[in-house]
Amino acid sequence: MDALGGLLHGFQVALQPANVFWCFVGCLLGTVVGILPGLGPAATIAMLLPLTYKMDAAGGIIMMAGIYYGAKYGGSTTSILLNIPGESSSVVTCLDGYQMARKGRAGAALGIAAIASFVAGTVGVVGLTLIAPPVAAFALSFSSPEYFALMCLGLALVVLLSGSSLIKGLLSMLLGLWLTSIGTDLFTAQSRFIFGQATLLGGIDVMVIAIGVFAIAEVLSSIEAGDDAKVLPVPRGLRNLLPSLAELKACRFAFLNGSVTGFLLGCLPGAGATIASFISYGIEKAVSKHPEEFGKGAPEGVAAPEGANNADTGGALVPLLTLGIPGGSSTAIMLSALVLWGVKPGPLMMLESPDVFWGLVCSMYLGNVMLLILNLPLVPLFAQILRLSAYILFPCILGISIVGAYGASGRMFDLGLVVAFGLLGYLMGKLKYPAAPLILGFVLGDNMERALRQSLMMSQGDLMTLVQRPISAIMLGLAALILLAPLLGKLNRMRVRAIAEGG
C-alpha cells in the first residue's frame, strides 16, 4: 500500500464514529493533562492503559496518541498564564509567552501558540506520512545484528540527551535492563531474579513501573514543591484570542522553523520535544532582526517553540512505528500498549496492521483540527482547571494510579510494586537520575537480549558478526561515538549546557 492508498484507508478507519470519539477523548484528556502541572502524558497514558484493554487496537492507540500530542497543546496555557510550564516541552514558551500576557496580550499569545501547534503538528504528520514508508522499506533488510545495533544506538541517544550526568543516565538504563530480566528467560525457561516469588515468573508489567516512576513520583515531587501561583486573566471571546496581522506576519518564519526543527529532532530517539523547542527558539532568535526583543514578549518566541514541540510528535512516531524503537517515555508506553493489543510495531506494521498504522496517522490530522478548536475558543474554560485545588487533584491521581495498576492484573502484589517504584522514581528525581533511560531500557531490554542472543546463535558465538555487517557496524560505531564523545571535556560541556537550557 503506497502513502496515498494508505491515507485513503486510514481516513476510512479514523472517520469511524467510535474512532472520532476516542480521538476527541484523547485530545481533550491531553489538553487537560497538559494544563495541569505535575501530571504528564506518560503518567496519564500509563494510568489509563488498563481502561483501554477492551478497546480495539486502532481506537486505543488513537486515544493514546491524542493524549500524547494534546498535552503539548495544553502545556502552553500554563506557561503563558502562570509562567509555570505544564510540560517540560513548554518551558521555553514561558520566556516570551508570559511576558506577552503581562503586557495584556495573553489572548494573542495563546492564539499564536494554538495556531503554531496546529500548523507544525500538521506538518509533522505530513512528514510522518511521507517518510514512514521508505524507512520501513529500508528496515525490512534488518536482521538480529542490525536490530541489536539499532537498539544500542537508540538507548545511547536517550542516555546522551536525558540528563547532565552520562553515568547516571547509563545506570538508569542498566536498572531498566535488570528489571526487564526479572521473570522467565526467553529461550530456556530459566527463572531469573524472582526472589522466590512465583508472581514474578511472568515478569513485571511495564504499567506498574511507569505508574510508579511517573505518576506517583510526579505527585510526590509536586507536593514537595508546593507550587502556588496566580493565574493571569484570560480574555474571553474568540476575537480577543486571535493575534493581530502584524503578529502573524512576524511569526511566518517561526511557524516553518518550528515545524522543520521539531520534526527532524523528533525522529531522533531521546532528543524529544523539550530540546526541539529550545533549538527552534535559538534559531529564531539568531535569525531575527530584533533579537533584543526575545524574552520581553516577542510573538516569534512563542510560535517557534510551540511549533517545534508539536511537530516533534510526527517525528517521534517514525522510529516507533517503522522500527519499533521508542524515543521517549510516552512512546515507550505506547509501544508496550501496541504489543499488548497484538500489534508489532516495525517495518511490517504497515502491511500487517494497516488499520492501526494508517488509522493512527490519519487520526492525527483530525486531532490537530480538534485541538485547534478546543484550544482557541475554549481556552478560558480550560484555564479554570488551574483553579482546581491540588488537595483534590493529587488524591485523584493516586486513586487512578491504584485503579490502573490493579485493573491491569487484578493482583494486590502489583500495587505493592507501584508503591515501591513510586519511591524509586521520587528518589531518582531528587538525586538527578533521569527516568526516561530506565523505562526505555525496560521496554527494549527483552528485545535487545533476544536480538543479541539470536545474532550470536547465528554466528556460533562469534561477536564479530555485530561489526562485520555494514549497517550494524555503522550503528554500533555511532552508539560508541555518542557515549565516548562526552569524555572530551569541551564536547561534554556543550552537551551539559544544551541539556541545562533544555530544562
Partner 1 sequence: MGRTILKDGDVISGAVLAALGVYIVMQSLAWEYSGPDGPGPGFFPFWYGVAMVALSLLLVVSAVRRGSVEREGAIDWTATKRALSTWAAFALSVALMNWLGFLVSFALLTFYIVAVVFRRSLVAAAVTAVATALGFYLVFPVALSLALPTGLLGF
Contact set with partner 1 (CB under 8 A): 50-51, 165, 167-168, 170-171, 174-175, 177-178, 181, 185, 187-188, 190, 192-193, 216, 219-221, 223-226, 389-392, 394-396, 398-399, 402-403, 406-407, 410, 412, 415-416, 418-419, 422-423, 426-427, 430-433, 449, 452-454, 456-457, 460-461
Question: Roughly what angle, to the nearest 10 degrees, separates helices 144-162 and 436-458?
Answer: 160
| Residue 353 to residue 360: CA distance in whole angstroms | 11
207 phi and psi angles, rounded to 5 deg: -60, -40
- Minimum separation from the CB atom of position 227 to partner 1 (A): 11
Q: 102, 365, 113: which is closest to 242 by C-alpha?
A: 113
- Minimum separation from the CB atom of position 410 to partner 1 (A): 6
| Residue 325 to residue 283: CA distance in whole angstroms | 28
Beta bridge partners of 192: 183
Cβ-based nearer residue to partner 1, 6 or 445: 445
- Minimum separation from the CB atom of position 218 to partner 1 (A): 11
- Minimum separation from the CB atom of position 496 to partner 1 (A): 14
- Asked if residue 382 lies in contact with residue 233, where contact means CB atoms within 8 angstroms, the answer is no
Cβ-based nearer residue to partner 1, 333 or 418: 418
C-alpha distances (whole Å) from 175 to each of 171, 181, 229, 441, 480 are 6, 10, 37, 8, 20
- Asked if residue 79 lies in contact with residue 309, where contact means CB atoms within 8 angstroms, the answer is no
Cβ-based nearer residue to partner 1, 15 or 51: 51
| Residue 184 to residue 178: CA distance in whole angstroms | 13
Phi and psi based region of residue 462 (left: phi greater than 0; alpha: psi -120 to 50; beta: remaining): beta
- Minimum separation from the CB atom of position 275 to partner 1 (A): 23
Cβ-based nearer residue to partner 1, 17 or 226: 226
- Residue 165 has a CB neighbour count (10 Å cut-off) of 17
- Minimum separation from the CB atom of position 458 to partner 1 (A): 8
- Asked if residue 472 lies in contact with residue 145, where contact means CB atoms within 8 angstroms, the answer is yes
- Minimum separation from the CB atom of position 481 to partner 1 (A): 18
C-alpha distances (whole Å) from 318 to each of 47, 301, 325, 500 are 24, 27, 9, 27
Q: 127, 122, 40, 45: which is closest to 89 by C-alpha?
A: 40
402: buried, middle or exposed (CB in 10 Å: 19+, 13-18, 0-12)? middle
Cβ-based nearer residue to partner 1, 3 or 423: 423
- Minimum separation from the CB atom of position 326 to partner 1 (A): 20
Cβ-based nearer residue to partner 1, 388 or 491: 388
- Minimum separation from the CB atom of position 15 to partner 1 (A): 26
Cβ-based nearer residue to partner 1, 293 or 446: 446
Cβ-based nearer residue to partner 1, 229 or 396: 396
352 phi and psi angles, rounded to 5 deg: -80, -35
- Minimum separation from the CB atom of position 190 to partner 1 (A): 4
- Minimum separation from the CB atom of position 267 to partner 1 (A): 27
C-alpha distances (whole Å) from 428 to each of 40, 88, 91, 177 are 17, 17, 21, 16
Cβ-based nearer residue to partner 1, 395 or 477: 395
Cβ-based nearer residue to partner 1, 16 or 409: 409
Q: 436, 437, 442, 475: which is closest to 148 by C-alpha?
A: 475
46 phi and psi angles, rounded to 5 deg: -65, -45
128 phi and psi angles, rounded to 5 deg: -60, -45
Cβ-based nearer residue to partner 1, 170 or 478: 170
- Minimum separation from the CB atom of position 457 to partner 1 (A): 4
| Residue 135 to residue 144: CA distance in whole angstroms | 17
- Residue 389 has a CB neighbour count (10 Å cut-off) of 7
Cβ-based nearer residue to partner 1, 24 or 433: 433
